[in-house]
Amino acid sequence: MQIEKYKIDEANNQQAAAHQRKFDFVAEGVANLDEVMGKLAEFNIAIPSWALGTGGTRFGRFSGGGEPRSLEEKIEDIGVLHALNRSSGAISLHIPWDIPKDAKAIKALAAQHGLRFDAMNSNTFQDQANQPLSYKFGSLQHVDKNVRKQAVEHNIEVIKQGIELGSNALTVWLADGSSFPGQLNFRKAFENTYESLQEIYAAMPDDWKMYLEYKCYEPNFYSTTVADWGQSLLYVNKLGPKAYTLVDLGHHLPNANIEQIVSLLLMEGKLAGFHFNDSKYGDDDLTVGSINPYQLFLIFNELVEGMDARGMNHANDLGWMIDASHNVKDPIEDLLQSVEAIKIAYAQALLVDKKKLVQAQLNNDAALAQEVLQQAYRTDVRPLVAESRLRAGGALDPIGAFRDMQVRSNLIKERGEKTVATGL
Amino acid sequence: MQIEKYKIDEANNQQAAAHQRKFDFVAEGVANLDEVMGKLAEFNIAIPSWALGTGGTRFGRFSGGGEPRSLEEKIEDIGVLHALNRSSGAISLHIPWDIPKDAKAIKALAAQHGLRFDAMNSNTFQDQANQPLSYKFGSLQHVDKNVRKQAVEHNIEVIKQGIELGSNALTVWLADGSSFPGQLNFRKAFENTYESLQEIYAAMPDDWKMYLEYKCYEPNFYSTTVADWGQSLLYVNKLGPKAYTLVDLGHHLPNANIEQIVSLLLMEGKLAGFHFNDSKYGDDDLTVGSINPYQLFLIFNELVEGMDARGMNHANDLGWMIDASHNVKDPIEDLLQSVEAIKIAYAQALLVDKKKLVQAQLNNDAALAQEVLQQAYRTDVRPLVAESRLRAGGALDPIGAFRDMQVRSNLIKERGEKTVATGL
Amino acid sequence: MQIEKYKIDEANNQQAAAHQRKFDFVAEGVANLDEVMGKLAEFNIAIPSWALGTGGTRFGRFSGGGEPRSLEEKIEDIGVLHALNRSSGAISLHIPWDIPKDAKAIKALAAQHGLRFDAMNSNTFQDQANQPLSYKFGSLQHVDKNVRKQAVEHNIEVIKQGIELGSNALTVWLADGSSFPGQLNFRKAFENTYESLQEIYAAMPDDWKMYLEYKCYEPNFYSTTVADWGQSLLYVNKLGPKAYTLVDLGHHLPNANIEQIVSLLLMEGKLAGFHFNDSKYGDDDLTVGSINPYQLFLIFNELVEGMDARGMNHANDLGWMIDASHNVKDPIEDLLQSVEAIKIAYAQALLVDKKKLVQAQLNNDAALAQEVLQQAYRTDVRPLVAESRLRAGGALDPIGAFRDMQVRSNLIKERGEKTVATGL
Amino acid sequence: MQIEKYKIDEANNQQAAAHQRKFDFVAEGVANLDEVMGKLAEFNIAIPSWALGTGGTRFGRFSGGGEPRSLEEKIEDIGVLHALNRSSGAISLHIPWDIPKDAKAIKALAAQHGLRFDAMNSNTFQDQANQPLSYKFGSLQHVDKNVRKQAVEHNIEVIKQGIELGSNALTVWLADGSSFPGQLNFRKAFENTYESLQEIYAAMPDDWKMYLEYKCYEPNFYSTTVADWGQSLLYVNKLGPKAYTLVDLGHHLPNANIEQIVSLLLMEGKLAGFHFNDSKYGDDDLTVGSINPYQLFLIFNELVEGMDARGMNHANDLGWMIDASHNVKDPIEDLLQSVEAIKIAYAQALLVDKKKLVQAQLNNDAALAQEVLQQAYRTDVRPLVAESRLRAGGALDPIGAFRDMQVRSNLIKERGEKTVATGL
């Protein structure tokens, strides 16, 4: 299944006049229009390979139809996404769910769809069939040196796979922790984990980055060994210049001020990038922007300000990835909504009148500072994002196009109603 | 201090062309424009009399200048607000902070400013000078019948004051509860409170309503005797048809789904109305819409749907009030921002394509349902709200006008730099 | 596998002297010793049939060995538990995980182990193979009348199964809700659910009870249709005298005061009983008493006080059940710890000096009230609980006995290393 | 008011026999009895000078009677505490609430009561009369260099006061932060704060320590500039070897695992010590051990293990202080309960069978690890703590003695019913 360009053009043509009117209206009010359009054009968000199938919870999983049955089909699905929104030009693989049998062929297939390979993800939170030792009680933290060794070797294997695919980053998310007081010694768990990470770090090529993710709880329910940004930062500062802290928006305790964490990690030069999603209660892994879009905007506001302050390239100096679980929506539609929400937040942040904001801050004028932020946030920037897509050859209305072209029913015809993609 | 109409007109004239362009643009996309403009015109949010001064926390209070020194000056301030936004045409008095010495004169003064008296607020969470018995351990829940009696009589006195002013509702917020396990018997506290409320209920005229507010914690830190919507509903159902549950947005445990509570209270015919504010952690009492404006929109979406389903009048069948604490902003500016945020959320909710939403719900199409809601939410409705203000004689840009007219420095000149209004 | 009584006796004999010394010491300080011992003797906690296997999370499941492969083996495991602690004399079945093929035979088998059948649990949160309609978007709340009908019929079938087994209660836990704003209409979801519950209610024999469980989130992450105690109470009050609200300790928002909820539900005559577990973050389903044992004591303190006030029988007038997920412990050991924690909390609550507590409350003497509660809580009541077990023929040290008798390795020998019990 | 030793002895004599029986019973089961008794004897918890008066909330303050009117009377009250429990031999002063007019005389007075001066507390969260610049928008973070300078100088002044009194630590708690998105630039606030802290750090004598406290929110409700342990650690690592992170138990987001934080700070050699209190919702400042005593035990379990691992002296190498707000209890009784709860938790932690725990951890035996911890926690160690007090000349039952000797009514006679101590 591949989306033919002329179909997108046809759809766009029908909406062209209405779009142009909206774009002209909003563009007139944007002083830095060229900058905004330029930055939107460059911006891509990686799609994780496991996100193309329907997710589930511990209570069950209700699969949809036409889910990709192989890595090739996953690439195809991301190709569909990217054809529609021109902002999903990267894949983030998860090993061992998606081990490429022939790296060259896979790389070529991805290239056909305009896709590159973003950060590789290792997995030591599940036992694989034929795995000699179990991760039931942790991996890099394990009290048994042999289990740690197995987990380290798995990570090194993932790096090797990534090198062949042209990736240059390894994302390490650890479920390691404990579910009961007394179950582990926090200090020793930290020390074991640190030692294991050092070995993985040593195996990374010089131009690679390690993204160390943190998470406050789940699947362990008493402690997690990389539980918050402070802990992750402790590790990556000890590890060295190639190690960075990855922020997953759903991995915080209730009410955490994530945007402040982002600002400080940027200040320290240790922000790796993001796993985007949204949540109301815990790590709910909902569609980005579906619960609290203003928070997303505030995060991007810190990103734009902080990256500019450090002279960073918005498009390439951080890792941008979605990490959501599409339990009740079509996974491709969910991803289209997520990418759209991210680009909207980014566009809004680019619209913030920085000069006026700085002035308000210097005057402790909280009311004016809020006016400045909300002036940007309340602006309907969707036409800017759509125009950016249009110029890049994508669809003005990606979900509309996806539905009109009946992509899902075509996928079901090809792949069957009862396919189940690997993943959670 | 009163704002002269011609100054508002002058300011509006300068912005007229720019506004017209924006209004025309957004209005073209609104199918039910007349309905929206009509409902916005009718909508008023009551201003509590204690909200005109700078608030504080237990750690201190940093007063601003020119705070109102009397009830008359508070009315004046609300008059300023209402002149600017034409949506603050009601006052909610707090007794004993604002006991009118001459009810008739106060009523006349309010009328001059176009203001009526909304719900009256009693106060049994502080001891007043010369009060015979203390509320240290509660009021309506107190183990001592005499303390309960004193608190009941205070509430009845507030009703009497309200009758003279033309109010027709009593808001009861109770700090009653306990700070330590064992300190009180929950059941007996409930029973005492219920008995006390019955006596107050009995003293209300037939056309009055009792608004029973709930709050999960603070100032008591272990239990609160009207702690959540379920408890408030239990009381008001027992009390009778004149008793309703009041929702203060900041009075919930972390992550509560407030919009669902609103929907169910409407379903039961027991929603009194709102104390609007915003918060990130607890009862932070921040400016409405400053932290999570999407949540506010979702609440209004339930209100519009639920009130329509019951044939209720959006403007009058519920009580709308702000309850915030303006610690670091000019109180009047904060209130202008709060009222604006409420009207924006209301306008967005009125824009929701209900037919399409119902259809999406019947198809379990969560992605489309989100598109429908966000289509309304992402629309920049500020020109609609501004137009509504303009038509009613208010300012296109209330905060801009407030600043340009130097209202605050005039108030400081009149009242002094070191005034402190009664309140928290 | 059945535990032979003489082995328990042997183990007890070795510990008899040490135990007696401890028991004598603590017993001397207990004024109401006979009452306490009598109530402990009567008290039984039902074991859910799914709790004998290792649980998991959405990230994976690490099975242990020797898990029961059939309902018969589950009954055997509960028999082991009950032989050791003499307080687990009831089973709570979960349909369709544990459909008895021959109800009479199963009943007889259970009786051999001294077990009766407690509340039956229906399951409409997962799709079963060959199920015509899916519960992906809810069951009793579903927009499609046919799905609701299927779910209602399933519940009625569970009641029938229960009647044959001698149960007299149906526990209804609904995953129904939504994961995104707009996905469902809260009011209609409530109305559909209520209508469905009415049909189930009508199918219950007169001596049955319906236990309606609430849960704030998971597996739905935006709204749940029976989300809190207030909602459950609304349903059960509408349904009638046979319907009650079930409290699962892990199903609340952060920081909720569960003991107050328990007290109020008792006051209203609508408390069904408990699903016991402990948690730090969400519905973590950890061993009872492993995270916050004082909270458990405070709940039992309300239970003892409230049940006495209503003249209720502690042992039989409420439903007592464990609902935990044993991810990293041997499930039988976990259940032994949970039952022990519950009995300890109960014993402590029975030790509270009620007269002194009431007096402290009447004097608003919060310090003394705390002293009274903590005097009971700080007392080491383990010898009382052990003595109660001893008198009933159980083991003084159940976990020690379980380990010394090598029960798990025997089960593995019988059943194999790689068995996986049905359940989460 | 000073407690005469013979009165304590009289009270003890009456309880001697009952106490001896309990002590003998529990002592028999404690293998390391001498170590436990020795460590309990050495352990002292500092009392903050503001804790002798009744606290309040933003909603009001209900003073008790006989509150100390001067620093001298505060010292007298702590003298009463220390005479009763022999574990409160230190004072923590708060400047400017308690500026000693004559340091030598104050030092001598304290020495009379057996008290030394623990960490000094600066205050830049309130404006003092005659203070040239306001802290409304922060102190060490302030955008205005002059405000920062004023705040730095205040801290340096506090250090000077401390030197004269024989203190050797400065506790810095900053309310600095923001209440609205946009109000401040997080990075610049961090940088300003860091620069200010450097100046204060430079003014500290070589044998002094800086304790940098963190707090997630309140009195600012959007961001705090030293918000969590990760941020505090970032500052103190940059500052140098004399700077440490102080843990206040109530300053965390909901559900935080505080004991893990404690363990990691110890590992890093950067734990300053504690502000003890307990809480259910936020920074509730309740009596230590009144809400979740098991958590307190788990923290002490980490302390004992971690300090032993680093060869630290339990009594002197960390700062131990109570920081609670006694709104509804007699402040002295509240402090007696708090100190008792801390010593109980400490004694329990000293009882943990470390060898067995380490073995369980090496076997991933979570059930056994829990048994080991709870074996210590469930032990009724109160007789050990009482014996320790008895040997040091304190009261077996401090609260009982305080009440029997009618200390509060004597204080009221001396000082009056309507005194209000300085503080929150």
Contact partners, residue B188, CB within 8 Å, separation at least 6: B143, C361
What is the model's pLDDT at position C2? 85
pLDDT tens readout for residues B83-134 = 999 999 999 999 988 999 999 999 999 999 999 999 999 999 999 988 999 9
Please check whether residue A118 is in contact with residue A90, taking contact to mean a CB–CB distance below 8 angstroms: yes
Distance to chain A for D360, nearest Cα, Å: 8
What is the model's pLDDT at position C424? 63
Best mutation target, A148, A184, A186, A223, to test chain D (most D CBs within 10 A): A186
Cβ distance of D56 and B56 shorter than 8 Å = no
What is the model's pLDDT at position B423? 65
What is the model's pLDDT at position B1? 73
**Is residue D222 within 8 angstroms of chain C, CB to CB?**
no
From chain C, pick out residues whose CB is under 8 angstroms from the CB of B216. Answer: 255
State which residues of chain A have pLDDT below 70.
422-424
As a whole number of angstroms, the distance between CA C223 and CA C230 comes to: 14
As a whole number of angstroms, the distance between CA C99 and CA D205 comes to: 75
Indicate the residue of B137, B306, B369 with minimum beta-carbon distance to C364: B137
**Is residue C363 within 8 angstroms of chain D, CB to CB?**
no
Please name each of the domains of chain A with its CATH number: 5-415 (3.20.20.150)
Indicate the residue of C58, C134, C291 with minimum beta-carbon distance to A62: C134
Distance to chain B for A152, nearest Cα, Å: 38
The pLDDT-based confidence of D423 (bands split at 50, 70, 90) is low
Size of interface B-C (CB pairs under 8 A): 146
For chain A positions 371-400, those within 8 Å of chain B (CB to CB) are 371, 374, 377-380, 382, 399
Query: CA nearest C329: which of C376, C277, C365?
Result: C277
Mean pLDDT by 10 residues, chain B (424 residues): 91 97 97 97 95 92 92 96 97 92 95 97 94 97 98 98 97 98 98 98 98 98 98 98 98 98 98 98 98 98 97 94 95 98 98 98 98 98 98 98 96 88 68
- SS3 string of chain B? CCCCHHHHHHHHHHHHHHHHHHHHHHHHCCCCHHHHHHHHHHCCCEEEHHHHCCCEECCEECCCCCCCCCHHHHHHHHHHHHHHHCCCCEEECECCCCCCCCHHHHHHHHHHCCCEECCEECCCCCCCCCCCCCCCCCCCCCCCHHHHHHHHHHHHHHHHHHHHHCCCEEEECCCCEECCCCCCCHHHHHHHHHHHHHHHHHCCCCCCEEEEECCCCCCCCCEECCCCHHHHHHHHHHHCCCEEEEEECCCCCCCCCHHHHHHHHHHCCCEEEEEECECCCCCCCECCCCCCHHHHHHHHHHHHHHHHHCCCCCCCCCEEEECCCCCCCCHHHHHHHHHHHHHHHHHHHHHCCHHHHHHHHHCCCHHHHHHHHHHHHHCCCHHHHHHHHHHCCCCCCHHHHHHHCCHHHHHHHHHCCCCCCCCC
Answer whether 0.90 is exceeded by the pTM.
yes
B207 vs D63 pLDDT, higher one: B207
From chain A, pick out residues whose CB is under 8 angstroms from the CB of B290. Answer: 370
Please check whether residue D12 is in contact with residue D404, taking contact to mean a CB–CB distance below 8 angstroms: no
Give chains near A: 3+ CB pairs under 8 A. B, C, D
What is the model's pLDDT at position B212? 98
Q: Which residue of B has its CA nearest to D180?
A: B290
For residue D169, pLDDT over 90 is answered with: yes
Indicate the residue of A136, A184, A268 with minimum beta-carbon distance to D361: A184
Indicate the residue of B143, B267, B358 with minimum beta-carbon distance to C187: B267
Cβ distance of C57 and A219 shorter than 8 Å = yes
Cβ distance of C284 and A179 shorter than 8 Å = yes
From chain B, pick out residues whose CB is under 8 angstroms from the CB of D125. Answer: 59-60
- Tell me if residue D239 falls in helix, strand or coil: helix
State which residues of chain C have pLDDT below 70.
422-424
Best mutation target, A327, A333, A384, to test chain B (most B CBs within 10 A): A333
Report CA Rg, chain B: 22
Indicate the residue of B135, B219, B329 with minimum beta-carbon distance to D57: B219
Cβ distance of A183 and D361 shorter than 8 Å = yes
pLDDT tens readout for residues A194-249 = 999 999 999 999 999 999 999 999 999 999 999 999 999 999 999 999 999 999 99
Best mutation target, A183, A232, A236, A259, to test chain D (most D CBs within 10 A): A183
**Is residue B130 within 8 angstroms of chain A, CB to CB?**
no
Indicate the residue of A183, A256, A306 with minimum beta-carbon distance to D187: A306
Indicate the residue of B136, B143, B298 with minimum beta-carbon distance to C361: B143
pLDDT tens readout for residues D201-248 = 999 999 999 999 999 999 999 999 999 999 999 999 999 999 999 999
**Is residue D254 within 8 angstroms of chain A, CB to CB?**
yes
Contact partners, residue A421, CB within 8 Å, separation at least 6: A50, A52, A53, A54, A67, A68, A69, A74
Give chains near C: 3+ CB pairs under 8 A. A, B, D
Average pLDDT over residues D321-348: 97
Cβ distance of A180 and C290 shorter than 8 Å = yes
For chain A positions 27-46, those within 8 Å of chain D (CB to CB) are none
- Tell me if residue C48 falls in helix, strand or coil: strand
Q: What is the DSSP letter of A49?
A: G
Best mutation target, B123, B180, B277, to test chain D (most D CBs within 10 A): B180
Best mutation target, C186, C234, C245, C304, to test chain B (most B CBs within 10 A): C186
**Is residue A309 within 8 angstroms of chain D, CB to CB?**
yes
Distance to chain B for C374, nearest Cα, Å: 10
What is the model's pLDDT at position D385? 98
**Is residue A302 within 8 angstroms of chain D, CB to CB?**
yes
- φ, ψ of residue D48 to 5 degrees: the values are -75, 145
